[in-house]
Copies of this chain bind each other. A is one copy, B any other.
Amino acid sequence: MKIAILGYGVVGSGAYEILKKSGYDVKKVLDIRPHSELGNVLTANYDDILNDKEIGVVAEAIGGLEPAHTFVVKALKAGKHVVSSNKHLICEYYDELHTLAEENGVTVNFTSAVGGGIPWLYNLNRTTNGDTISKLMGIMNGTTNFILDAMISCGRDFDEVLAEAQALGYAEANPSADIDGLDVARKTAISSSIAFKTTVAEKDVDIFSLRNITKNDIDYIKDKFGKTVRYMGFGIKNDSTVSAFVEPVILPCTSLEANVNKNFNIITLFGESVGRLSFYGQGAGKYPTGHALATDVIDVVNGERHTHIYGKVFDVDNSQCERKYYVRANFLPSEYASYEKVGSSYYIITNKMKVSEMHLLAKSILESDPLAFFAGFEE
């Protein structure tokens, strides 16, 4: 079976090199930019791939929704397997792509869409074969972990570290998708869809941005509780619903998560039989993510086929999940168990409250204090 790669950017070129070195036949690479090293493997015309009967698997590494979506749909309809590293695409069209794959007797693999080089989604799916997942959680975004790690270990401020992350290429010029949580929300939605055999949409995931965290928050959490902060996504199975949310989290310093440094990721599942399983590695980068994309392609070439459940089997309901929260604001909000005033800031600990209520409360707090911050206690 021959291979086509769509997009010769960071991930696409990484996967190309890895597949070539491992002896796999990449017949075509689609890119509109010139790449003389690719010779006649390069094409700017997708029909060259679509109409080539020898090409059995299309690896999409363009990113974004269009033209990736159009290309992938055409590939599936043409009976070609699809592998993708595109979390935005997979999250947005989870049902459509799986329906098309099933109708056309092919597979859609997308391990590299979450966790970069970490075979997280692959193993999450494999674990569900003989186990029931009760919860997943993870540091799924390298940019925000790089920022937090630098703030915590060097006592630096958010904006200063963000600028450095941008200079190093860890953060985009427009960093909003990373620091405001949309990237983690998509990864949480995709992971929850696989874990709980349903479809969780991006819009169903409650998100609180990391943007407002300050040195003072980190110091207060350290001094008061001896704990630290990470930015994480959560998917939790309730009796008849699913919870899915993204927020800053307060953790013991001896937790695995607290010791995940720089731009590394760690993602964890809790299975009824297998217990806790965690997967740690590079959440991004040319060769790590390229490796994950290439390995999914190799699975397809080797004859592995995967099925995923799709359709909205469970509603998302974040009122089914409770925890205590730390809140910092310049006034005293309606919900609190205890508080302390330092300077003009109120440092508040809530009673156990519903995740959905906290995210709603945060919206109203931000209207009065746009710099307010909260984080949930993870036990």
B282 & A276 in contact (Cβ 8 Å cutoff): yes
B119 & A291 in contact (Cβ 8 Å cutoff): no
The CA of A258 and the CA of B119, in the complex, are separated in Å by 23
- Count of A residues near B, CB < 8 Å? 47
Q: Looking across the interface, which residue of chain B has its beta carbon closest to that of A23? A: B130
Is A279 interfacial (CB-CB < 8 Å)? yes
Is A259 interfacial (CB-CB < 8 Å)? yes
Is A364 interfacial (CB-CB < 8 Å)? no
A254 CB contacts on chain B under 8 angstroms: 259, 261
Tell me the dominant secondary structure on chain A's binding face.
mixed
Q: A14 is contacted by which of B256, B273, B281 (Cβ under 8 Å)?
A: B273
Which segment, of A73-81, A216-224, A292-300, A330-338, faces chain B? A292-300
A277 & B130 in contact (Cβ 8 Å cutoff): no
The residue in A123, A277, A288, A303 that gathers the most chain B C-beta atoms within 10 A of its C-beta is A277
Please name 28 pairs of A and B residues whose Cβ atoms are closer than 8 Å in the assembled complex, sorted by A. Answer: A18-B130, A18-B131, A19-B130, A22-B129, A117-B277, A118-B277, A126-B295, A126-B299, A127-B291, A127-B295, A129-B295, A129-B298, A129-B302, A130-B298, A254-B261, A259-B259, A273-B288, A273-B290, A273-B294, A274-B281, A274-B291, A274-B292, A275-B287, A278-B280, A278-B281, A279-B279, A280-B280, A304-B304
The 3 closest A-B pairs by CB, nearest first: A278-B280, A273-B287, A273-B291
